[in-house]
Structure 1
Amino acid sequence: MVDVELRQLRVFLTVASELHFSRAAALLHISQPALSQQIRTLERALGTPLFDRTSRATELTPAGRVLLDAAPRVLFEAERAQARVSQAAEGASGLLVVGSVGTALASIAPRILRTVRARFPDLQLEVSQHDTGAQMIALAEERLDGGLVREAVPTSTVTVEELISEPLLAVLPGDHPLAAHDTVDAGDLAGEPFVLWPRPLGSAFFDILTGYCREHGFSPRIVAEGADIETQLSLVAAGLGVSLQPSYYANLRPPGVAFRPLSGDVPTVALQVAWRRRDRSPAVGHFVEAARECAAAG
């Protein structure tokens, strides 16, 4: 196996450019004997002379001309590989797989992703929508690197950190009598059919909603469930029932749906960033830091 150092190739290219050992040594800030020794070492490694040396001139041999053509490409690829390794070590390149609940995709997630992409354009982002429960499992199983979840409970494997917290709103068909009010009392929803999230998709969030109803003297009569917010809002717009949702979703403003504040003390729902406790990946750190900054900026 040929043992050639990159430093030797750089020395060779300087000599090949100057075709003069003294001038090349001066450009490289080394002595001429040291330069000559490096060229001889390179020639021994390659098993062939690279220069014809006479008292009058220095010329490249046929092997030297081949190396002159190949060496710049070798150095370019080596330097590019070194840069990529450094970027990967710093979390500036590679692949970051992120999950997000629909709540975050409708609010803070786009800003977080834009921030990461702007700072680290060589870091490939793969983003998909998953409910909180699925993300917590995927994080533990290392199928996700980071996530944006809602009211998740930390585990021994996955930690969560609150980003933003906003109150629940009443979600009503646009022609519902309560939609004409500026605010809605939770007790006025007692006899209404409800459209909610299935509990397995986020038990903590589901329990906040149903617990709030019980505090006002009733259990919600759930007539329909939707695995995503678009489905639920469509069901509300169709008049199948009312709902309770975080205020983030008011940004969607689908036709036929009215969002109204609830009166009195209203529970808040937290959006959180989640990642594995033992994950020391710089890329994950960049994602978490961007999430914190976007949340602080409001």
Structure 2
Amino acid sequence: MDIELRQLRVFLTVASELHFSRAAVRLHVSQPALSQQIRTLEKALGTPLFDRTSRSTVLTPAGRVLLDAAPRVLFEAERAMARVGQAAEGADGLLVVGSVGTALASIAPRILRTVRARFPELQMEVSQHDTSAQIVALTDERLDVGLVRAAAPTTAVTVEELVAEPLLVVLPDDHPLARRDTVDAADLAGEPFVLWPRPLGPEFFDIITGYCRDHGFSPRIVAEGPDIETQLSLVAAGIGVSLQPSYYANLRPPGVEFRPLSGDVPTVALQVAWRRRDRSPAVGHFVEAARACAAAG
């Protein structure tokens, strides 16, 4: 059976008019050409669709069944073609997104909202991962795009800076330094530190330890936390102090104070990352939204 969508549309026009001449006028074709199209359709289906006499045209039982089914067939076909077009343009399908907690606490919600507003049919699966895990997942094609922190590009993955924020010192609220408006890095030389494990983000870890060494000391790391919530809880418990990007200041739990550092302070970049060879339009839309949100501040 070989039926074209055009034939179904012709059939529906004739069925609505029940008059071949009027249907031909609506379709801007000659009546003989219209009759031939209906005969071709009937031949493909193996049954008459209309009973035609010199005085009237009526649907056969088979014609009434097709009249019920044809609109649904056309709707689904047109919907499928639209979705194929949307997928080709990156407006449909599934985009798997990774994000560090820093981004989820700051720019990520705006990026996701922007993408969803422009492409409501594009499904996004978002999960939280540290930077190193995202770079590996992007390389292995388990993620399509990521929001990472202080990451170095690789042969497989490119990164682009979105925003950068300065480091702040995080202190227990009863710490003497918490009474100051700003803190000198040198005053942290004797303090115990709570930091991220280096494997979760080597570049970020090296920014912090390099900053401390520039001020004459190496941080005495007494505890590490796999996520920011754990680290802030350790600081609140008085286990140590920490250095964190200012993005996290809005997550301040009870018992913790964030203070600016004096002098020249390094910044920590939030970046968007994707595979160098990935030409997916959906990834491109996400990157464009990330750039726009970063530019808007």
TM-score in terms of structure 2 length: 0.99
Deviations along 1:5-64, one digit per CA (max 9) or x if unpaired, are 000000001101111000001111111111111111111111111111111111111211
Deviations along 1:77-100, one digit per CA (max 9) or x if unpaired, are 111111111111111111111000
Bigger shift: 206-215 or 29-38?
29-38
Q: Does 1:16 align with 2:15?
A: yes
Counterpart position of 1:193: 192
Counterpart position of 2:65: 66
Bigger shift: 68-77 or 222-231?
68-77
| 3-state SS, counterpart of residue 62 of structure 2 | helix
Q: Does 1:272 align with 2:271?
A: yes
| 3-state SS, counterpart of residue 279 of structure 1 | coil
Which one-letter code corresponds to 1:271 in the other structure? L
Kindly state the Cα deviation for residue 66 of structure 1 after the two structures are TM-superposed: 1.4
Counterpart position of 2:205: 206
Deviations along 1:253-291, one digit per CA (max 9) or x if unpaired, are 211111111111111110000001111111111110110
Provide the C-alpha distance between the structure 1 equivalents of 2:138 and 2:173, rounded to a whole number of angstroms.
39
Counterpart position of 1:228: 227
Which one-letter code corresponds to 1:134 in the other structure? A
Counterpart position of 1:29: 28
Counterpart position of 1:120: 119
Provide the C-alpha distance between the structure 1 equivalents of 2:225 and 2:290, rounded to a whole number of angstroms.
27
Identity of aligned residues (%): 87
Q: Does 1:184 align with 2:189?
A: no
Which one-letter code corresponds to 1:233 in the other structure? L
Provide the C-alpha distance between the structure 2 equivalents of 1:153 and 1:250, rounded to a whole number of angstroms.
25
Kindly state the Cα deviation for residue 70 of structure 1 after the two structures are TM-superposed: 1.2
Provide the C-alpha distance between the structure 1 equivalents of 2:162 and 2:60, rounded to a whole number of angstroms.
66
Provide the C-alpha distance between the structure 1 equivalents of 2:277 and 2:176, rounded to a whole number of angstroms.
52
Provide the C-alpha distance between the structure 2 equivalents of 1:294 and 1:66, rounded to a whole number of angstroms.
53
Provide the C-alpha distance between the structure 1 equivalents of 2:122 and 2:97, rounded to a whole number of angstroms.
12
Provide the C-alpha distance between the structure 1 equivalents of 2:60 and 2:126, rounded to a whole number of angstroms.
55
How many residues matched? 297
Provide the C-alpha distance between the structure 1 equivalents of 2:180 and 2:68, rounded to a whole number of angstroms.
79
Structure 2 unaligned regions, length at least 5: none
| Pairing of 1:54-203 with structure 2 (within 5 A) | 54-203=53-202
Counterpart position of 1:237: 236
Which one-letter code corresponds to 1:183 in the other structure? T
Which one-letter code corresponds to 1:162 in the other structure? E
Which one-letter code corresponds to 1:11 in the other structure? V
Provide the C-alpha distance between the structure 2 equivalents of 1:149 and 1:25, rounded to a whole number of angstroms.
62
Provide the C-alpha distance between the structure 1 equivalents of 2:65 and 2:114, rounded to a whole number of angstroms.
46
Post-superposition, which runs of at least 4 consecutive aligned residues in structure 1 deviate over 3 A? none
Counterpart position of 2:47: 48
TM-score in terms of structure 1 length: 0.98
Provide the C-alpha distance between the structure 1 equivalents of 2:193 and 2:77, rounded to a whole number of angstroms.
62
Bigger shift: 132-141 or 75-84?
75-84
| 3-state SS, counterpart of residue 87 of structure 1 | helix
Kindly state the Cα deviation for residue 168 of structure 1 after the two structures are TM-superposed: 0.5
Which one-letter code corresponds to 2:148 in the other structure? V
Deviations along 1:158-199, one digit per CA (max 9) or x if unpaired, are 100000011101110001000000110000000000000000
Provide the C-alpha distance between the structure 2 equivalents of 1:39 and 1:141, rounded to a whole number of angstroms.
54
Provide the C-alpha distance between the structure 1 equivalents of 2:179 and 2:214, rounded to a whole number of angstroms.
24
Provide the C-alpha distance between the structure 1 equivalents of 2:98 and 2:272, rounded to a whole number of angstroms.
10
Root-mean-square deviation (CA, aligned residues, Å) is 0.7
| 3-state SS, counterpart of residue 272 of structure 2 | strand
Which one-letter code corresponds to 1:64 in the other structure? G
Deviations along 1:89-147, one digit per CA (max 9) or x if unpaired, are 11111111100001101110111111111111111111111000000000000000000
Which one-letter code corresponds to 1:152 in the other structure? A
Provide the C-alpha distance between the structure 2 equivalents of 1:207 and 1:217, rounded to a whole number of angstroms.
15
Provide the C-alpha distance between the structure 1 equivalents of 2:168 and 2:181, rounded to a whole number of angstroms.
12
Which one-letter code corresponds to 1:128 in the other structure? S
